[in-house]
């Protein structure tokens, strides 16, 4: 077995990755959610260990840990992207703006194909129908009303649609995430970098012209029918 990697950050040495994981978790849990805070240790973790931040010449100076409720209030796309999960955002300089950020930069890197599939979903979402006040969840016995309903792909399902679209995307664009740059001004996700006239986007729109779909509440959408 290989030796555990040793980390030095914020003047402290951590003999194992788990030790650093635990220290980060403890520091994060010391702060209130939905409230801006400064934390030198967490800032050093990002600024000293996050390769994307280092290569961009950015520095995080403060954070905010957002609940799903607060993300929804701010109309952030992460509400649906992360299905109700918490979102940590950092305020970066010299960008002078907020960006999502991880304080565990040593963990498994992104799956680029999955990231693009999520981005395609973001591009189609504004074009999908919106629930009417008279509509409710399609699951038997569920009476969840329109304000909580989500668009559920029945046939073809979203995975099949996105796979068809992925066939039209080059390996270069997959590898580079269409040139995605977390710190480019006025951009926030991979979806901001995909051209609207790209063949994959054209296919995405076409496959939504006569697909079968239904309204589901978040519980049935995520836990019952996928």
Of 95, 96, 76, the closest CA to residue 87 belongs to 76
157 Cβ contact list (under 8 Å, min separation 6)? 226
Q: Which tokens is 56 given?
A: 């961009």
Mean pLDDT of 70-89: 80
Which tens digit of pLDDT belongs to each residue from 50-62? 999 999 999 999 9
Other residues' Cβ atoms within 10 Å of the Cβ of residue 163: 13
Residue 108: per-residue pLDDT:
75
Query: What are the pLDDT digits (tens) for 148-205?
Result: 899 999 999 999 999 999 999 999 999 999 999 999 988 889 999 999 999 999 999 9
For the chain, the average pLDDT equals 91
Residues written for the chain: 226
Residue 1 has pLDDT above 50, yes or no: no
The stretch 82-94 carries a mean pLDDT of 86
Q: What pLDDT is recorded for position 104?
A: 94
* pLDDT for 216 beyond 60: yes
Please state whether the peptide bond connecting residue 94 to the residue before it is cis, i.e. omega within 30 degrees of 0.
yes
Three-state DSSP at 181 gives coil
Supply the pLDDT for residue 42: 98
Task: Name the residue ranges covered by the structural domains of the chain.
Answer: 7-100, 112-223
**Cβ atoms < 10 Å from Cβ of 145:** 14
Print the SS3 string covering 96-162.
CEEEECCCCCCCCCCCHHHHHHHHHHHHHHHHCCCCCCCCECCCCCCCCEHHHCEEEEEECCHHHHH
For CA atoms 102, 105, 106, 109, give the dihedral sign.
Answer: positive
In angstroms, the CA 46 to CA 27 distance is 13
């Amino acid at each position: 077995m290989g030796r555990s990697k040793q980390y030095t950050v914020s003047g402290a040495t951590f003999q194992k990755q788990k030790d650093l994981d635990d220290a980060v978790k403890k520091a994060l849990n010391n702060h209130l959610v939905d409230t801006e805070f400064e934390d030198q240790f967490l800032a050093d973790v990002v600024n000293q260990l996050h390769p994307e931040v280092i290569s961009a010449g950015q520095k995080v100076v403060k954070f905010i840990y957002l609940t799903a409720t607060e993300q929804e209030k701010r109309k952030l796309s992460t509400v649906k992207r992360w299905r109700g999960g918490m979102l940590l955002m950092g305020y970066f300089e010299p960008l002078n703006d907020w960006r999502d950020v991880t304080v565990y930069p040593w963990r498994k890197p992104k799956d680029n194909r999955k990231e693009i599939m999520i981005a395609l979903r973001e591009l189609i979402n504004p074009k999908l129908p919106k629930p009417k006040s008279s509509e409710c969840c399609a699951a038997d016995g569920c009476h969840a009303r329109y304000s909580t309903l989500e668009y559920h792909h029945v046939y073809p399902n979203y995975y099949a649609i996105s796979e068809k679209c992925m066939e039209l995307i080059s390996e270069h664009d997959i590898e580079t995430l269409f040139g995605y740059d977390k710190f480019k001004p006025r951009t926030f996700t991979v979806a901001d970098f995909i051209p609207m006239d790209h063949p994959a986007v054209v296919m995405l729109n076409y496959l939504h012209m006569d697909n079968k779909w239904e309204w589901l509440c978040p519980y049935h959408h995520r836990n019952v029918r996928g």
